[in-house]
Chain A
């Protein structure tokens, strides 16, 4: 199993670069048809970590860990925020633009879970490397 670990300071551009680097890393590892969904999911959890976890604080780091497994990629994104209970998230409501991030992330990956570890909050994605019916 191979690992990749990247940490960036919290800023708009750093978040963009972090996502870009991870996408570059995973592009040869998964079916091209799954790449778009993976990119959306990674973008959502990285920006959520920066905005809701670290409160856009440039002094707080966002760390991303990628683990490569035979049939999946595990992406963990750590922030220093208080975290939240995903079960408490309201369903997206017509007329509002909140609550869609977790919704579209769940649609795009095999699983999404949140937990607290060593004083940090972690969002963990499991992304399929191949299409189910391939």
Chain B
């Protein structure tokens, strides 16, 4: 199965450039539908981004520029299918197995889709009303609406 070479230390550093680990209330990047970050920008090129723009920036940086996903959560889901990542049950996101997974909510009537990544039971995402941050994998707004989930990496060390 396809995987991508995520550098865990770089992933953590990029998260740290996006929000405070110490305070859930403090985020450095707000949520903005249509907001994008320049790939490879460090620090981030804007202070507001949408879900797909954040995941795209994060994965690009954490793979040292080796993985450029398309923009838009629907296109990212199609990309995951076409790349051959292993599709998995979203319930596996509870595992503390140091694998990075990606999950999607399909667009519905009047509502945009969503994309986020998960590692060790915690999400990494940019979400409405907050911005970049982390939530429990089983946050109701996610687990009740998730449409697909894929394994992106082997065990990260």
Contacts and interface: CB of A to CB of B under 8 A. Distances in A.
Q: Do A and B come from one complex?
A: yes
B157 A12 contact: no
A79 to B, nearest CB: 12
Nearest to A37: B43
Interface string A21-58: 00000000000000111011001101110111000000
A95 interface: yes
Interface in B10-50: 12-13, 16-17, 20-26, 28, 43-47
B23 A12 contact: yes
Interface of A: 12-13, 15-16, 19, 35-37, 39-40, 43-44, 46-48, 50-52, 92-95, 97, 100-101, 103-104, 108
Interface of B: 8-9, 12-13, 16-17, 20-26, 28, 43-47, 98, 156-157
28 contacts: A12-B23, A12-B24, A15-B26, A16-B25, A36-B43, A36-B44, A36-B45, A36-B46, A39-B28, A40-B16, A43-B26, A43-B28, A46-B26, A47-B20, A47-B23, A51-B22, A51-B23, A93-B9, A94-B9, A95-B8, A97-B12, A100-B16, A100-B21, A101-B21, A103-B13, A103-B16, A104-B13, A104-B16
